Structure 1
Amino acid sequence: MAPPTSVFRAGATALITGSASGVGLAVAKLCASHSMNVILVDNNSSKLDEAKSTLSSSSKGSVDIHSMDVASLSDWSDLKSSVEKSGKKLDFLHLNAGVGLNGSWTDNAYFHKIFDVNLFGVINGINTFFPHFDNNSGEQKAIIVTGSKQGITNPPGNPAYNASKSAVKTIAEHLSFDLTKSSPSTSVHLLVPGWTFTGMTGGGKTASKPDGAWAPEQVADYLYQKMGEGKFYAICPDNDVDWETDRKRMTWTMGDVVYERLPQSRWRDEYKEEATKTMDAMNHGAKQAD
């Protein structure tokens, strides 16, 4: 069976949401570097024009743009009609668009906006283009869903965002399981960036990338690496947090359930000493295993 990275091939068609900048644009550049036809989707028309100009100057494949709201199912229907009228069928779908708002427990609009974009933006994309990927036993296809470490470790501070990304993780896991059975030549991958210098995570507030952050292109390269290894989870480190640290944080979070601790215990004063000792011990064990 061909590796998932064989989807990156000349003439294949890639559609990427949230692709006018940041990680989405970096993945679009990765696709374009393999001479794929690229469809850029975003709600920022001016940035889309810039992105198209950037890709068109170096890509051997076609570059099309669509300005739309991923929370709108009717917009997705229009997009599907446009894609299929042009005679194309998707080989690569990256559901990447997201928002990171803040709000309070009484702010209903905050919860709706985040879930409408972060979760239903993914669900709408799957609902719309699922027929392009199901029952596929021919050339390799792939669906990428962008998650977040906050949807796994669930730190305090932004419940709607964390919950939306936790739901996205669950959806992607189910999609992978089901398509493994019905569509053996379609792979699914959950891309989880670390600290990345983008407009959503601080790129608009400072002119230069902080030392601890990765560039979006590094995230795209890591996705390609993990796809080449046949991995579902592409959980990116960054220059401040390595993979071992991520593993310890995720393991501790699951321990809240297994050991019946209070939720979000890593940030509670009464568990700080235990958390520190446990993570130090895990780190020591990992070094011995090496």
Structure 2
Amino acid sequence: MADDIITTGKVAVITGAARGIGRAAALRLAEKGMKLVLADVVGGELAATASAAKAAGSPEAIAVPTDVGDRAAVEALATAAFERFGGVDLLMNNAAIGEGGGVLENPDNWRKLMDVNLWGVVNGVQAFVPRMIEAGRPGYVINTGSKQGITTPPGNAAYNASKAAVKVVTEQLAHELRTRGSRLTAHLLIPGWTFTGMTASDPAAQKPDGAWHAVEVVDFMLAGLAKGDFYILCPDNETPRRLDEKRMAWAIGDVIYNRPALSRWHPDYNDAFARYIEE
């Protein structure tokens, strides 16, 4: 189905499009000839992405500055997209921020992060998907999650919680679309270690050897969509898929075997986890 959706003249909406994975997606979809509606809060960089998308082959790319945590702003984004192009074939709820904090700290950061990372996805789904269903066209809804929403490592509880919630929202959306007989499909993009604006605040920084470029994530995403994958689990240059699988299996094993929470980082389980990985 990918060739029917990601093709000349079809319409894609991407949030968080000014930088990183969102920008890379905009440029790749532009090369496919898609019309683009690009959203972000970073106005100047967003406009630059729209210009670059036109140069890359998009017949039309518009920049719509949008705070995805603001429901009214996302509704306005949807209205702009449907009024301009008559429909949307691909929605990528990608906008995210990383600064949250631990469970016992930074309540303001928690609220801001949840507004973007979780409510930005919910707002996007609720503003766009009913209209996409009504149009009756095949299409994709892609929500950007994170491995940290599955293995939930200690250190940034707010970010982990937001991405765990995105996983659940996307799974539920996939089920609802399937039971409705909709021509839309939902997909959870799970990037690996990716060199983006979130992970590299210094514009002069060099990509670490272990990280992927954002465009590698997008290419992997496109291949996953073509295969019909729901979970688009990206490796990187440091972590192969098999290691990701074992880490995720260990995480759910904490529940099954009633181990301590986050036992992978518990001193009493260091040796057991190491043996498990080596098996």
Sort the TM-score into its range (normalised by shorter chain).
Answer: over 0.9
Q: Distance in 2 between matches of 1:83 and 1:102?
A: 31
Report the counterpart of residue 183 of structure 2 in structure 1.
185
| C-alpha contact 1:211 1:239 (8 A) present in aligned 2 | yes
Rounded Cα–Cα distance in structure 1 between residues aligned with 2:7 and 2:24: 17
Equivalent residue of 1:201, what SS?
A: coil
Write the deviation string for residues 211-240 of structure 1: whole angstroms up to 9, x where unpaired: 111001100000011111111011100000
- Normalised to the residue count of structure 1, the TM-score between the two structures is 0.92
Closer, same or farther: CA 153–205 of 1 in aligned 2, 3 Å: farther
Instruction: Give the residue type in structure 1 aligned to 2:113.
Output: I
What is residue 284 of structure 1 aligned with on the other side? Answer: none
- Report if the CA contact (8 A) 2:101-2:156 is conserved: yes
1:34-113 equivalent positions in 2, closer than 5 A: 34-104=32-102, 105-113=104-112
Aligned partner of 1:170 in structure 2 is 168
The answer to whether the Cα contact below 8 Å between 1:196 and 1:238 also exists between their aligned partners in 2 is yes
**Separation in 2, partners of 1:204, 1:189:** 31
When residues 193 and 153 of structure 1 are mapped into structure 2, their CA distance, relative to the original with a 3 A threshold, is same
| Partners of 1:258 and 1:71 in 2: CA distance | 35
Q: Which residue of 2 aligns with 1:212?
A: 210
Does 145-154 or 107-116 show the bigger shift? 107-116
- Aligned partners of 2:9, 2:252: CA distance in 1, in Å? 43
Alignment of 1:274-285 (within 5 A): 274-281=272-279
2:9 aligns with one of 11, 14, 23: 11
Amino acid across the alignment from 1:128:
A
Structure 1's 90 and 183: CA in aligned 2 closer, same or farther, altered over 3 A? farther
Instruction: Quote the Cα distance in structure 2 between the aligned partners of 1:224 and 1:110.
Output: 33
Number of equivalences? 278
Q: TM-score normalised to the size of structure 2?
A: 0.95
Using the TM superposition, give the Cα deviation of residue 68 of structure 1 relative to its aligned residue in structure 2, in angstroms: 1.3
CA distance, structure 2, for counterparts of residue 265 and residue 217 of structure 1 = 34
- Secondary structure of the residue aligned to 2:130 is helix
Q: Which amino acid aligns with 1:133?
A: M
Equivalent residue number for residue 26 of structure 2 = 28
Look up the SS of the partner of 1:171 in the other structure.
Answer: helix
The Cα of 1:159 is off from its aligned counterpart by 0.6
Unaligned runs of 5+ in 2: none
CA RMSD of aligned residues (A): 1.5
**Secondary structure of the structure 2 residue equivalent to 1:211:** coil
Is this contact kept in 2: 1:137–1:183, CA < 8 A?
no
What residue number does 2:115 align with?
116
CA distances 1:31-53 after superposition (whole Å, capped 9, x unpaired): 11111101110000010121112
Distance 1:76 1:181 in 2: 26
Deviations 1:162-213 (CA, angstroms, capped at 9, x unpaired)? 0010000000001011111224421111001111111101253643211111
Tell me how far apart the structure 2 counterparts of residues 183 and 37 of structure 1 sit (CA, whole Å). 26
2:252 partner amino acid? M
Mapped pair 1:150 → 2:148: yes
Q: Which runs of 4+ in 1 moved over 4 A?
A: 135-138
Q: CA deviation at 1:58?
A: 2.3
Q: Deviations over 1:39-74 (max 9, x none)?
A: 110000010121112111121420000111100011
CA-CA distance at 1:137 after TM superposition: 5.2
Q: Does 1:242 align with 2:248?
A: no
Aligned 8 A contact 1:10 1:36 in 2: yes
